[in-house]
Chain A
Amino acid sequence: MNLDNVMSVHDFKRKVKNYFMIGLICLSALVAIFPLISVFVFVLQKGLPSLSWDFFTQLPAPVGETGGGMAQSILGSFYLIAVASLIGVPWGIASAIYITEYGYGKTVFLLRFSNDLLMGVPSIVMGLFVYSFVVAPMKGFSWLAGSLALGLIMIPIVSRSTEEILKTVPSHIREAGLALGIPRYKVILHIILKGSWGAILTGIILSVARISGETAPLLFTAFNNQYWSHSLTQPVSSLPVQIYTYAISPFEEWQAQAWSGALVLILFIFVINIAVRLLFHKK
């Protein structure tokens, strides 16, 4: 009887502690998602009013006129991302393949370490690098320069995510391939990569989401353009840079459009993230 009482007091204390800690954990989870939700709601409120069909189809209207859109920036962003992916994806995958399949010892350590460093380089520095090595010699801002800057940012991200996936392929799968008399490069291309393609693609798409919001490296590489541009050697507009330009302008009309641009960009990144999870994380 006495013992029961002692136990129940102890039990009570333990339960209170337990609920208190659970409460704390829930609170921290809320704190973590609060910024995301508030940013989204805020951008939605500000951006939705001036979002219209014209926004997606029209070029910017001259100052003082109403209407107009960011069509050239949306297309420009796609251009920039497409060419950046052509640079960053094969390079990143190749580096991951070398690290996991061919290299060993110090080389792997060095490569992985430089990948980590590269991932930590501020994106504006990447822009400056491309500015001095591409923009300055070519004497002009360009789509190519912008994509190069974004591509360089993609390399370590794609490399790291691909490496993590290749590491999960057990070594006896590779050996089974080799044991069939298949040359190593074919084992890698047709068996290892084929089996983990979904997961690798996820990493690639997430890196696309990551670069699609980059502004700083584009400011002095791709610069901006108020008109359609389809040439690799000409300046090209992009959503983030256009948002930046409009947001710091003194015109209310433009500022409103900057919010709409921000909304479109956020939605694009949301959709990509959600789609990737739905497509590849079901199993």
Chain B
Amino acid sequence: MPNSQVQKNTILEVKELNAWFGDFHAVKNINLKVEQNDILALIGPSGCGKSTFIRTINRLHEEVPGARVTGEVRLLGQDIYKMDPVKIRRQVGMVFQKPNPFPGLSIFENVAVGLKLSGIQRKSILTEIVEKSLKQAALWNEVKDKLNEPGTSLSGGQQQRLCIARALAVTPPILLMDEPTSALDPISTARIEDLLQDLKKYVTIVIVTHNMQQASRVSTKTAFFLSGELIEFGDTSQVFTKPNKQKTEEYITGRFG
């Protein structure tokens, strides 16, 4: 947003969040706030808890047997761990590392499925939302003449944009992206990075990335994770130019990780 100094609303607030897989303490005592229309990039070496962290925000973490969470995650003020996970997930979209359109469903159905299975059956409404979501995901022009073809028939980059459209169709205020471009070629990656700049008009984004250039290009806020801890959190320009912590500097300059 151009006038970023204007008072923004906090959309996501995380307090003393811890997550475990069995005995393994994967995420340790995280506190952070995300404001509306921010793009928060989570960076850090493999296994540092970034993915686990975002999976606590839509309560997917607990779907793994033996997984456990303590602490608070507030989405628009509501404590999500006191709510029905199904309802939470309708408000938190997610895009995965590998493009994963639902096999056996057409392009149209892939985008409509979230609405359809939560009870919206009116064809006219579905058509309208599918078109809108595909446009937001910058895929409409490429697929508008073949909406009935299988979603899996698209190229990798198109599939990932289809997955973004699928997540946007249920109009979540926040979108989680778990290394959304790590399985894509450079051109598809660039398209998705461009897309993020448009998307932040409608939705707040939390993106996990291994690619530091990507983090510095696309995000407004950056959080650096190491061994499950949040080492540094701040404006992207500050984290990348004058980090407060030595570990952060070592990581972003490529001394480890």
Contacts and interface: CB of A to CB of B under 8 A. Distances in A.
Nearest to A181: B90
B63 interface: yes
Contacts of B88: 181
A10 interface: no
Interface centre among A176, A177, A186, A191 (most CB of B within 10 A): A176
A72 B71 CA distance: 69
B102 A191 contact: yes
A22 B202 CA distance: 65
Contact of A179 (B58, B98, B102): B58
Contacts of A197: 104
A175 B60 contact: yes
Contact of B117 (A169, A182, A195, A196): A182
A208 to B, nearest CB: 22
Given A170-B100, A191-B105, A179 B117 contact: no
Contacts of B97: 172
B94 A176 contact: yes
A65 to B, nearest CB: 55
Interface string A140-184: 000000000000000000000000000001101101111111110
A175 B63 contact: yes
Contacts of A169: 103
A104 interface: yes
Interface stretch (B73-81, B137-145, B163-171, B205-213): B163-171
B65 A104 contact: yes
A191 B100 CA distance: 12
Interface residues of B, number: 29
Contact of B113 (A104, A105, A190): A190
A183 B86 contact: yes
Contacts of A170: 98, 100
A179 B113 contact: no
A194 interface: yes
A181 B87 contact: yes
A181 B118 CA distance: 8
- The number of chain A residues touching the other chain, given as a range, is 20 to 34
A181 B114 contact: yes
Given A104-B65, A191-B113, A178 B60 contact: yes
A181 B60 contact: no
B103 A176 contact: no
A227 to B, nearest CB: 45
Contacts of A191: 102, 105, 113
Contacts of B157: none
B102 A186 contact: no
Contacts of A181: 86-91, 114, 118, 170
Nearest to A191: B102
Interface in A236-276: none
Contacts of B98: 170, 172
B178 to A, nearest CB: 9
B28 to A, nearest CB: 23
A180 B60 contact: no
B96 interface: yes
A105 B98 CA distance: 27
B105 A180 contact: no
Given A104-B65, A172-B98, A175-B60, A180 B103 contact: no
Interface string A194-234: 11110000000000000000000000000000000000000
A35 to B, nearest CB: 38
9 contacts: A172-B97, A175-B60, A175-B96, A179-B93, A179-B94, A181-B118, A182-B118, A190-B113, A191-B105
Interface of B: 58, 60, 63, 65, 86-94, 96-98, 100, 102-105, 113-114, 117-118, 163, 166-167, 170
Interface of A: 104-105, 169-170, 172-173, 175-183, 186, 190-191, 194-197
The 3 nearest A-B residue pairs measured at CB:
A181-B90, A195-B104, A195-B103
